[in-house]
Amino acid sequence: MQRVRLAALAAALSVITACGSDTTTSPTGGNTNPPPPTASVATVDVTPTTADLIVGKTTKLSATAKDANGAALSGRTISWSSSSNNIATVDANGTVTGVAAGSATISAASEGKSASANITVKLDVQVIPVATVTVAAAPDTVEAWDPSQMVATLKDSNTNVLTGRVVRWTVSNAAVATIDSVTGILTGIDRGTVTVTATSEGKIGSASRVIVIKYRSISAGTMHVCDIASGGIAWCWGLNGAEGRIGSDQLGSNSMSAVPVRVPGNQKLAQLATFGRTTCALTTEGKAYCWGFPAQWDPKLGIHVT
């Protein structure tokens, strides 16, 4: 009888102990703890925040939900929307498609928090090909060493003007004029006529320019004359002789030119004076140069007098 009482007491104590414990016992005998509370979404980040898009093309945006500490939260639902579906649409994965030219705001939201990206949709300028290239005819005369901007007009097959296309420039004779192939800046070098050609998407257009030289300050020596002309460049004509009076390298007692010859070096001159068989000049930078007599001087604009 005493043994039955002890067994009943032990069973009662076991029940009391189990009821007083904070640990839940699983049917299999293991203990389980309640899961930690779920962190709330504090912010949403969208990358990139701006993007340019061509009509009919797509771009991918990414969105990340974060907690109050800035830690990324996984497994959260992100919903996407567009402020203007007729400009750009977005699918459930954040893929944006350009619909028409314009601007739209793409937003990503999660648990009441949101962020957005600004999307600019543009037309594909290459959709409409260039049909014609026309080089402006005026002015038809350009002064040497005075840079002139060439202008080309591009049109489609319906004569609509096209912009934003690549144009490249060439000239027919670089001894008469040169041109920057990208900017279209034309610089006359010598008298004559040059053909200027513009090319875009395989189409070409051209126009002629007459390069002229204006003479501004003439000084006469012994059987030769020198002048400061367009762009401050020196030109001489007459007897070159054995001294190189006109700056030519064609030396000889009978060497001469009846037309102006550009003095080598292309120095930009402010003043020029000729006396006898010698010519001296002062550049715009204040340097002095001489050519001609005596014969040992190099018959070029390259003798620097200090």
Task: Give how far Cα 217 sits from Cα of 10, 248, 273, Å.
Answer: 131, 20, 9
Topology of the domain comprising 215-305: Thrombin, subunit H (2.40.10)
Residue with tokens 């000049």: 281
pLDDT at 180 over 50: yes
Q: Which residue type occupies 145?
A: W
For the stretch 63-117, pLDDT in tens is 999 999 989 999 999 999 999 999 999 999 999 999 998 999 999 999 999 999 9
Fold agreement between 43-123 and 215-305: no
What phi and psi, each to the nearest 5 degrees, are found at residue 295? Answer: -60, -25
- Listed by start position, the domains of the chain span 43-123, 127-212, 215-305
pLDDT value for 6: 43
Residue 30 CB burial class (10 angstroms; 0-12, 13-18, ≥19): exposed
Residue 126 CB burial class (10 angstroms; 0-12, 13-18, ≥19): exposed
Tell me the C-alpha distance between 209 and 177, whole Å: 9
pLDDT value for 303: 47
Say how many C-beta atoms besides its own lie within 10 A of residue 297's C-beta. 15
Confidence band of 30 (pLDDT split at 50, 70, 90): low
Nearest to 136 by CA among 169, 182, 160: 169
Confidence band of 294 (pLDDT split at 50, 70, 90): confident
For the stretch 7-28, pLDDT in tens is 444 444 444 444 444 444 445 5
Say how many C-beta atoms besides its own lie within 10 A of residue 233's C-beta. 21
Topology of the domain comprising 43-123: Immunoglobulin-like (2.60.40)
Give 119's strand partners. Answer: 51, 104
The number of angstroms, rounded, from the C-alpha of 274 to the middle of its chain's C-alpha atoms is 49
Tell me the C-alpha distance between 245 and 62, whole Å: 76
Confidence band of 32 (pLDDT split at 50, 70, 90): low
For residue 149, the surrounding DSSP H or E stretch is: strand 148-149
DSSP three-state, residue 230:
helix
pLDDT value for 293: 84
Task: Give how far Cα 9 sits from Cα of 5, 6, 15, 117, Å.
Answer: 6, 5, 10, 72
Domain 127-212 matching CATH 3.40.50.10860: the answer reads: no
pLDDT value for 7: 45
Q: Cβ distance 275 to 289 under 8 Å?
A: no
pLDDT at 29 over 60: no
Q: Which residue type occupies 264?
A: P
